[in-house]
Structure 1
Amino acid sequence: MVSYNPLTAQPPEEVPLEEAPLIRVIAQVRFPPILSVEQKAFVASFQEAIREQYPILQPEQTQGLVLSSQGLMPTTPQITWRFIDTEGNWRVSLAPDFMALETTAYTSRSDFLLRLQNLLSAFGEHIKPKTIERFGIRYINRLTNLAVEDVSKLLRPEITGIVTAEFGENIRQTINESLFDIPGGEDRMIARWGLMPAGATFDPDAIEPITQSSWILDLDMSLSKKRDFSVGLLIGEAQRFTERIYTFFRWAVTDDFLQYFGGKL
């Protein structure tokens, strides 16, 4: 088990995991609303630029909720364009105020960043955003089956927490959330972890409920700051975010974890 400050330490050398418990990786850029994105003719050139990799189009009518003095109120419905690969493992989402790349079949940091760079280039060329307001990357891990019973061996005591207490077997659900300011800049990381019972989730859009209990380790790093859109700038931030997330991940898990999921030390 390593001991260092995961918010400032140099990223460790990557240890590939043959059976990684990573269930989803998401990169999202938010920008001031571009209302033309709801028009087919406006997004057609963007679709054509990415259609070879993401040929399946599934437009969705989406609606969110905002908290007002009258309670939770629905937002105005909007179109979100979903562009999906033929295997259903990669998805691009484009809405009037955000674009996202997500996958359930992550293979490597370099592959993800290359796909993101190509997507951002097409986005810049065809949608032409002038500024962005937020950019973030999120990695979601889920432990199931015997791994849930072995969390005390697989994760640091700071992460397992109350689950390892004498009455831990009676805990049905426990979720911890910490917001970190990353030293030396304006980046922030939200780390969520804990035990989820069967059929439960705290984020149905990203973490689908399953039929058994599971342990979630959810790491989300972002920069919320208005700035000019730049592919190079965003890829630099993406590199920084993915390295810091991996550093935190390696701090949170033990060598037993790496070996359990097929890592070679």
Structure 2
Amino acid sequence: MDREERGPIFENLVVADVPLNPAPLARVIGQLRFGTLSVLASGDDAAQAYMKALSEEYPFVEQGVEQALRFTAGQPVQHTEIGKLWRLRSHDRQTLVALNNGALTLETTDYLGRTSFCDELARLAGIFQDITRVPAYNRVAVRYTNRIQGPETLARLTKLVHPELLGLVGVDTGPDVELTYTLSQAQFSFGEARNLMVQYGRLPGGATFDPTIDAVPEPNWVLDLDSYQEFPDARSGLNANPQSVKAAAVACAERAHAFFRWAVTEEFLTHFGGHP
């Protein structure tokens, strides 16, 4: 199917789901950012109350300090503490809730679909609002990191992904020459500070394009979709109630999914257990 037959990338922002099993997802992240809250800056009581409220679903906790690294020519790397960080993990440790004084993050490697994921992000936001009285959020994001690996699957990549996403992958490089690394970026703006950042390409084993994503030992192809909306005016941020959070998160997820479905072929869907 060529580009003309497929139509514009975002012709339809809401595309029907095709459940994949196993889905080639390395992780999914949902994040809500907010301004520094006095209730979190004045002590640990609010954070402790939040952890207690989530203890049944997320019984494991890790507490630490976030650090920023500063690099200066000719000087040793300087570490600067920028605040406390709390991490809560689910029973199976596949889902993580992270909180600092600026962001609430939900991360999972056990993705059950955008409805379930956005419901959970909204639930976490509702509990957080009850405890901290956070008035609004200045950024909401949903990010999907897809990873294709395994020699047999990579050998079929030109049949699984449309040409626009392949770049130099699949190009004849000549004898005894192998393409080991290629990474491309693209950003789309939908107005009203809604954006989608796309990164895609082939990585060698042991490499990663993002230090927060663990590398794998074998060559792989990644498609990273970071869909977000920002609210630069503090007077008109995203309402912190769960209903508004869910609606905004679902909209982010739908934009990412629209691009994903445009990027991959029907053979991709069937290869990963889907039934288009």
TM-score, L = length of structure 2: 0.88
Go from structure 1 to structure 2 and tell me whether the alpha carbon gap of 1:65 and 1:129 turns closer, same or farther (over 3 Å shift): farther
70 and 78 in structure 1: CA distance in 2 versus 1, 3 angstrom threshold: farther
Whole-Å separation in 1 of the counterparts to 2:102 and 2:46: 15
Aligned residue number for residue 200 of structure 1? 207
The equivalent residue for 2:169 is 163
Query: Structure 1: any 5+ residue segments left out of the alignment?
Result: none
Q: Is the 8 A contact 1:66 1:74 kept in 2?
A: yes
Deviation at 1:110, TM superposition (A): 1.6
Q: Deviations over 1:45-74 (max 9, x none)?
A: 211221111111111222124689999864
Change (3 A) 1:223 1:21: same
Distance in 1 between residues matched to 2:30 and 2:71, nearest whole Å: 25
For residue 114 of structure 1, the aligned residue among 115, 119, 131 is 119
Which of these two proteins has the greater Rg computed from alpha carbons? 2
SS of residue matched to 1:54: coil
Which of 236, 244, 265 is matched with 2:255 structurally? 244
The residue that corresponds to 1:229 in the other structure is 239
Amino acid at match of 1:28: Q
Q: Please state whether the residue corresponding to 1:164 is helix, strand or coil.
A: coil
Q: 2:12 aligns with which of 9, 13, 23?
A: 9
**2:48 aligned with 1:40:** no
SS of 2:35's partner is: coil
Partner of 1:185: 192
Measured at CA, do residues 67 and 128 of structure 1 come closer, stay the same or move farther in structure 2, by a change above 3 Å? farther
Given the alignment of the two structures, is residue 253 of structure 1 paired with residue 261 of structure 2, yes or no?
no
1:124 maps to which of 122, 126, 129 = 129
Select between 24-33 and 41-50 the one with higher mean Cα deviation.
41-50
Q: Secondary structure at the match of 1:94?
A: strand
User: In the alignment, does 2:98 pair up with 1:93?
Assistant: yes
Amino acid at match of 2:35: P
Task: Read off the aligned partner of 1:140 and give its amino acid letter.
Answer: T
CA contact 2:203–2:219 (8 Å) conserved in 1: yes
CA separation of 1:67 and 1:247: change in aligned 2, threshold 3 A: farther
| TM-score (normalised: structure 1) | 0.92
Give the whole-Å Cα distance in 1 for the aligned partners of 2:72 and 2:131. Answer: 35
Does 1:79 find its partner at 2:84?
Answer: yes
Checking the alignment, whether the CA contact within 8 Å between 1:4 and 1:251 is kept in structure 2 is no
Per mean C-alpha deviation after superposition, the further-off stretch among 146-155 and 187-196 is 146-155
Offset of 1:158 from its aligned partner? 0.2
Aligned sequence identity (%): 30
| 2:155 alignment counterpart | 149
The change in CA–CA distance for 1:40 and 1:186 in structure 2 (over 3 A counts) is closer
CA–CA distance in structure 1, aligned partners of residues 258 and 65 of structure 2: 37
Query: How far apart, in 1, do the equivalents of 2:72 and 2:227 lie?
Result: 27
In the alignment, is residue 175 of structure 1 matched against residue 191 of structure 2? no
* 1:235 Cα deviation from its structure 2 partner: 1.2
More displaced, 212-221 or 165-174? 165-174
Separation in structure 2 between the aligned mates of residue 94 and residue 125 of structure 1, nearest angstrom = 15
Shift of 1:113: 1.5
Structure 1 residue 82: deviation in Å?
0.3
Q: Is the 8 A contact 1:131 1:229 kept in 2?
A: yes
| Deviation by residue 1:80-134 (Cα, 9 ceiling, x = unmatched) | 1001111001100000111100100101122111211110101111122223221
Contact kept in structure 2, 1:36 and 1:42, CA below 8 Å? yes
Q: Check the 8 A contact 1:6/1:244 in 2, yes or no.
A: no
Change (3 A) 1:143 1:67: same
DSSP 3-state at the match of 1:119: helix
Contact 2:30–2:141 at 8 Å: present in 1 too?
A: yes
Contact 1:93 1:101 in 2 (8 A): yes
- Is residue 30 from structure 1 mapped to residue 30 from structure 2 by the alignment? no
Q: Distance in 1 between matches of 2:7 and 2:64?
A: 44
Q: Report if aligned partners of 1:129, 1:229 keep a CA contact under 8 Å in 2.
A: no
1:218 is matched with which residue?
224
